[in-house]
Amino acid sequence: MKRLRWLLVAYWFGVFLILRLAEAQSQEGFISLDCGLPINEPPYIESETGIQFSSDDNFIQSGKTGRIPKNLELENLKQYATLRYFPDGIRNCYDLRVEEGRNYLIRATFFYGNFDGLNVSPEFDMHIGPNKWTTIDMAIVPDGTVKEIIHIPKSNSLQICLVKTGATTPMISALELRPLASDTYIARSGSLKYYFRMYLSNASVLLRYPKDVYDRSWIPYLQPEWTQISTTANVSNKNHYDPPQASLKQAAIPTNLDAPLTMVWSLENPDDQIYFYLHFSEIQVLKANETREFDFVLNGETINTGVISPKYLEITTRLTTNPRQCKGGICRMQLIKTQRSTLPPLLNAFEVYSVLQLPQSPTTESEVVAIKNIKSTYRLSRITWQGDPCAPKQFLWDGLNCSITDDISSPPRIISLNLSSSGLSGTIVSDFQNLTHLESLDLSNNTLSGMVPEFLASMKSLLVINLSRNNLSGSIPQALRDRERKGLKLYVLGNKYLCLSNTCNKPKKNFPVTIVAPVASIATIVVVMILLLVFKKKMSSSMECLYNLVESRTIIYISLYIYIHEFDLPAGNKSEPWIQTKKKRFTYSEVMEMTKNLQRPLGEGGFGIVYHGDLNGSEQVAVKLLSQTSAQGYKEFKAEVELLLRVHHINLVSLVGYCDEQDHFALIYEYMSNGDLHQHLSGKHGGSVLNWGTRLQIAIEAALGLEYLHTGCKPAMVHRDVKSTNILLDEEFKAKIADFGLSRSFQVGGDQSQVSTVVAGTLGYLDPEYYLTSELSEKSDVYSFGILLLEIVTNQRVIDQTRENPNIAEWVSFVITKGDTSQIVDPKLNGNYDTRSVWKALEVAMSCANPSSAKRPTMSQVIINLKECLASENARISRNQNMESSHSSVELNVTVTFDTDNVKPIAR
């Protein structure tokens, strides 16, 4: 008897294992994340569904874990007891491995539960890839909410991102993915956002897994004017949609057998496009003289799905293959029996989804894979390196620049990668060559070792490669040398084991130095020592002792000067406060009050997000909050505050105040209502096209601001980031220079007119001589201004790979040489300008952009020439006005042509 008992126990245990194994196998492809579950806790089986949940720790690199109070935990729903919240960064993303082209049901659950004790309901956005999915507002749904979408990934990686939009902190309780049959739920465009999914029954049971193999949730629903019918027989539910068999064993029919089965509901957004999926099964045995058939009608229009006549105990699914709209947002769905039907219509279950358009294409997958491999290889843990690298534009990864066209359906491409001073070690990995549209690669100031890889020469789009100040060895590949002769700019200084000559057999002798500095800086010390020695020979012996003292101190001072300026180290006491003055200082609570809790963002840059603010109800301001993820933010914050507190000029954006309270840093500026110059040139700001006179006035005002920095400040300042996005315009289109975070001071006169510093600026505007030598002077700003002026004249991109000459200065020079002048001036001006004024401005721009800094004019000279341009343009306007006043009844058609022989700029 005992033996029989053990056999029975063994038998049922085996059955249990088989059932659990089958259940586990049916969960293949499921991703079920209990967000915030500690990584050291093992996966567990959720009691209601039998689904295995595990920690989300391996799917996201940021965030903190929280737990709701015990008294608020939901019975049998362990996955909602913990959560992950994101106090740091703006965008935090889950990165999930999926199957490209496969349809997935994606479900995210949010239950705040006052986990932080603040009793402040979070509000934030959720993105899928580079596109917004929805807004989560826990104040509206304090008991929690579930968001669900059916989505087809365009790659094998899928990012689900939580985006901070205000002062509250994003959070999430659970994230689930369920693969669906690939030929189901197909939308013509976009994805399908869950609206509702019902089975028609007076039951109170929510149907989920394992009753639904895809783990969809089905809510029971029955209207008072309906009658429920049911069967105990098994119903076949296999047709790829596979709704739960339990949902097909019950159905609703109208109580009035001659009436249609009608349902009416309102859409949240009246303009929503929707898809319907209706599931039918005949569950009554029909007599020989009975017929059940009916039409599907939406808002009075018969949907062309054919007459519906459900089969006995078999599933029939009818759906809309094109999205439908409901007039005024009121949907009236009816099932109306045909004239030959003797029985009323029935409906077992149905689903409704709205269309979620996802217009922004993700970055090209091969480039995403490459940059992720680079991130993994070098263990880069930047909080901004989450989600899509390039899109949306406001969440561009730090150190990247991408080509994002006006056609957002075109995938962005990575065109610039700056990993300077990023702690990179090891060799230069081959993943870089998969960034096939890369124009600039900066790997300087790291500890990279090994050979310079030859594959860099095969990257045809590369214009600039900076490998300076690493530990690279060997020789430079001949293929790279060949590319150099064709215009590639290759920088390799500061690699003491790298052979720079053609004969690389002789070992290089390494000289020990106390202070590591660039080759140019060491050369400066050597030159000074030689001069001192020459001078020493001419001295009398009585002066030799004094000379020796001067000589040794001079070398020490020069070395210390180079060390401080090359590496931007503070020369003073480290305990010295960052900002000397406490004038115009605001508290963080005052910042939150003036921005109404960060209610209205204006834009975002490398420093952080800029918000609109209101100071004492009388003055509009722009508030730039330092992002905790900004690589150089604290340093730029200090530089900008200290500069703007001591300089004042009508053409420099004025600082209203700042905040440096604990870990909160903000800059408060005067508000510039007309945005930046780039927005107006590109047309993104809207409004009319800037005429030539206005453009000249803006250029002059920007030049006046730079002139003040160069000659009016003591010590003089170099802006280092002059570009069209940093030229702001007020309500009267008066121009002011902004963003002084990269500015540096230098002494004018003598041998102090240049400063060695780590190169900073924006590709295209960056002075090539400064980039090559790291020697900074006011002429670096002059170069950037020249590029800006070319942009004002031509309205062309500063760097454009589609041109024969990608750099704007080289392109203008090339077009002038060809004599094809019609391509140069912005066509939006429609020829409405003084020809000589435009060409003189072009000549000024080309002289500013001269590769040799010695041949560039000063900003004072630039201003004189530009004022002449404006005077010439004003004279033209005055002449035209006089002609119009004297011939007011005559319509004039004036065509301006170029005399290219007499007025084209001098070749530079």
B/e letters for 348-373, b = 16+ CB within 10 Å, e = fewer, are bbbbbbbbbebebbbbbeebbebbee
Question: How does residue 550 score in pLDDT terms, banded at 50, 70 and 90?
Answer: very low
Task: Please indicate, yes or no, whether residues 447 and 485 belong to a single structural domain of this protein.
Answer: yes
| Mean pLDDT, residues 285-293 | 95
- Measured between alpha carbons, how far is 523 from 295 in angstroms, rounded to an integer? 89
Q: Are 360 and 131 in contact (CB under 8 A)?
A: yes
Task: Please indicate, yes or no, whether residues 533 and 490 belong to a single structural domain of this protein.
Answer: no
* Residue keyed to tokens 């760097």: 799
pLDDT one-digit tens code per residue, 165-197: 999 999 999 999 999 998 899 999 999 999 999
Question: How does residue 639 score in pLDDT terms, banded at 50, 70 and 90?
Answer: confident
Q: Which of 493-507, 534-548, 768-782 has the highest mean pLDDT?
A: 768-782
Coil/strand/helix, residue 554: helix
Strands 174-179 and 31-34: what pairing? antiparallel
Coil/strand/helix, residue 466: strand
Q: Are 848 and 782 in contact (CB under 8 A)?
A: yes
Concatenating the DSSP letter of every residue in 359-395 gives -SPPPPHHHHHHHHHHHHHTT---TT--S-SS-SGGG
Domain's final residue, options 625, 640, 671: 671
Mean pLDDT estimate for the chain: 83
Output the six-digit token pair for 501.
């000559």
Q: Could you tell me what percent of the chain has a pLDDT over 70?
A: 82
Domain assignment of residue 306, yes or no: yes
- Measured between alpha carbons, how far is 116 from 247 in angstroms, rounded to an integer? 40
Question: How does residue 74 score in pLDDT terms, banded at 50, 70 and 90?
Answer: low
Known binding residues for ATP are 624
Domain assignment of residue 494, yes or no: yes
CA dihedral (677, 681, 685, 691) positive or negative: positive
Domain assignment of residue 579, yes or no: no
pLDDT at residue 15 above 50?
Answer: no
pLDDT at residue 814 above 70?
Answer: yes
> Phi/psi class of residue 777: alpha, beta or left (left: φ > 0; alpha: ψ in -120 to 50)?
beta
CB half-sphere exposure, 636, CA atoms < 13 A: 25
The residue with greater pLDDT, 822 or 580, is 822
Quote the pLDDT of residue 347. Answer: 98
CATH of the domain at 634: 3.30.200.20
List the domain range (segments joined by +) for residue 636.
Answer: 584-671
Q: How many domains does the chain have?
A: 6
Output the six-digit token pair for 845.
């721009």
pLDDT at residue 24 above 80?
Answer: no
3-state DSSP helix/strand/coil % of the chain, to nearest 5? 30, 25, 45
Task: Please indicate, yes or no, whether residues 142 and 165 belong to a single structural domain of this protein.
Answer: yes
Coil/strand/helix, residue 813: helix
Domain's final residue, options 628, 648, 671: 671
Backbone φ and ψ for 11, nearest 5 degrees, come out as -65, -50
Task: Please indicate, yes or no, whether residues 660 and 529 belong to a single structural domain of this protein.
Answer: no
- Measured between alpha carbons, how far is 202 from 675 in angstroms, rounded to an integer? 59
Question: How does residue 682 score in pLDDT terms, banded at 50, 70 and 90?
Answer: confident
CATH of the domain at 819: 1.10.510.10
Domain assignment of residue 129, yes or no: yes
Quote the pLDDT of residue 576. Answer: 37
Who's near 709: CB < 8 A, 6+ residues apart? 647, 652, 716, 717, 718, 719, 737, 743, 778, 781
Domain assignment of residue 22, yes or no: no
Quote the pLDDT of residue 504. Answer: 59
Task: Please indicate, yes or no, whether residues 241 and 142 belong to a single structural domain of this protein.
Answer: no
Concatenating the DSSP letter of every residue in 692-750 gives HHHHHHHHHHHHHHHHIIIIISSSEEE-S---GGGEEE-TT--EEE---TT-EEE--ST
Quote the pLDDT of residue 244. Answer: 97
Question: How does residue 78 score in pLDDT terms, banded at 50, 70 and 90?
Answer: confident
Task: Please indicate, yes or no, whether residues 236 and 113 belong to a single structural domain of this protein.
Answer: no
- Measured between alpha carbons, how far is 400 from 196 in angstroms, rounded to an integer? 41
CATH of the domain at 122: 2.60.120.430
Known binding residues are 624
* Residue keyed to tokens 């991408």: 402
The letter for the amino acid at 641 is V
Domain assignment of residue 188, yes or no: no
Task: Please indicate, yes or no, whether residues 715 and 842 belong to a single structural domain of this protein.
Answer: yes
Question: How does residue 8 score in pLDDT terms, banded at 50, 70 and 90?
Answer: very low
Domain's final residue, options 464, 499, 534: 499
| Mean pLDDT, residues 445-469 | 94
Task: Please indicate, yes or no, whether residues 558 and 665 belong to a single structural domain of this protein.
Answer: no
Quote the pLDDT of residue 634. Answer: 66
Least confidently predicted of 366-370, 509-513, 845-849: 509-513
Task: Please indicate, yes or no, whether residues 529 and 552 belong to a single structural domain of this protein.
Answer: yes
Least confidently predicted of 448-462, 632-646, 738-752: 738-752
Which residues form the catalytic set?
721
Q: Are 671 and 622 in contact (CB under 8 A)?
A: yes
Model-level pTM? 0.58
Q: Are 476 and 500 in contact (CB under 8 A)?
A: yes
CATH of the domain at 416: 3.80.10.10
- Measured between alpha carbons, how far is 362 from 400 in angstroms, rounded to an integer? 15
pLDDT at residue 19 above 90?
Answer: no
Neighbours of 750 (CB within 10 A): 6
Task: Please indicate, yes or no, whether residues 629 and 686 belong to a single structural domain of this protein.
Answer: no
Looking at residue 3, the DSSP 8-state letter turns out to be: H
Quote the pLDDT of residue 548. Answer: 44
Q: Which of 558-562, 687-691, 739-743, 869-873 has the highest mean pLDDT?
A: 869-873
Q: Are 126 and 163 in contact (CB under 8 A)?
A: yes
Output the six-digit token pair for 850.
């001269």
Task: Please indicate, yes or no, whether residues 656 and 768 belong to a single structural domain of this protein.
Answer: no
Domain assignment of residue 744, yes or no: yes
Least confidently predicted of 158-167, 248-257, 423-432, 527-536: 527-536
Domain assignment of residue 820, yes or no: yes
Quote the pLDDT of residue 514. Answer: 39
- Measured between alpha carbons, how far is 397 from 134 in angstroms, rounded to an integer? 22
Task: Please indicate, yes or no, whether residues 745 and 813 belong to a single structural domain of this protein.
Answer: yes
pLDDT one-digit tens code per residue, 696-728: 999 999 999 999 999 888 788 899 899 999 999
Question: How does residue 747 score in pLDDT terms, banded at 50, 70 and 90?
Answer: low
Looking at residue 791, the DSSP 8-state letter turns out to be: H
